Amino acid sequence: MNFQDPEEFLRLAEDSGVTLPKTKRGEATFNRLLQAAEEVFGEKNYYEASIVDITNRAGVGQGTFYLYFKSKKDIFVELIKHLHHEVRSFIQREIAQVSNRVDAEKAGIEAFYKFTLKHKDLYKLIRDAEGVEPNLWYWYYASFAKAYAERLKAAMDRGEVARVDPEALAYCLMGISVFTAMRWPVWEGKMPPGEFTGTVFGFITKGLVPSSDKRGEKK
């Protein structure tokens, strides 16, 4: 299987077990179930959680659950897809007004910190995805990296970022975001201190700026 086509992983992870809502009221109920699933799976993990736990948390009957999902796995897969969309959308909104890619990377990491503070169980859910449905887990990261690499390649073409392998760079930057967010938003439940982010941003800047661009270097 080709990692350049992450959507193939998603097709393997999905089946026909999700029925999307057709009305505003149904959409509100659907989203309430996803929110409840995020809380319940985060608290209990996938294997310990039940559909009853989710419906009780959402304040709906089991019959309502089965209008939209055939199984616990179906809502879990939909939840991971939902979180994937939400984190990407949140970051893009936060960096929308930043014109330079290096500055966008800094703003993007801060946005990821903010998102993980609001979704405190994100890391647990992604770890569960590896065991529940590996193809979904592969898709979550590979899809993110593919889009990321495309944006980095465009920045390289504009001369904003040093010319390197964009996929390798995407995974390096994702690794920085994931582990530094784990250290503060996840473990400490707060944004990192200025000295910490300053070190992270300085490291990223030195790694991204083309060698001909001497910004920030000491004479």
CATH number of 8-14+71-208: 1.10.357.10
Q: Is the separation of the CB atoms in 210 and 164 below 8 Å? A: no
User: What are the tens digits of pLDDT across the range 95-125?
Assistant: 999 989 999 999 999 999 999 999 999 999 9
User: What are the tens digits of pLDDT across the range 45-82?
Assistant: 999 999 999 999 999 999 999 999 999 999 999 999 99
* Domain boundary assignment for the chain: 8-14+71-208
Confidence of residue 16 (pLDDT cuts 50, 70, 90): confident
Average pLDDT value over all residues in the chain: 94
The token pair at 126 is 């992604």
Q: Is the separation of the CB atoms in 140 and 84 below 8 Å? A: yes
C-alpha span between 81 and 74 (Å, rounded): 11
Q: Is the separation of the CB atoms in 170 and 182 below 8 Å? A: no
CA distances from 204 to 97, 149, 176, 191 (A): 20, 15, 9, 18
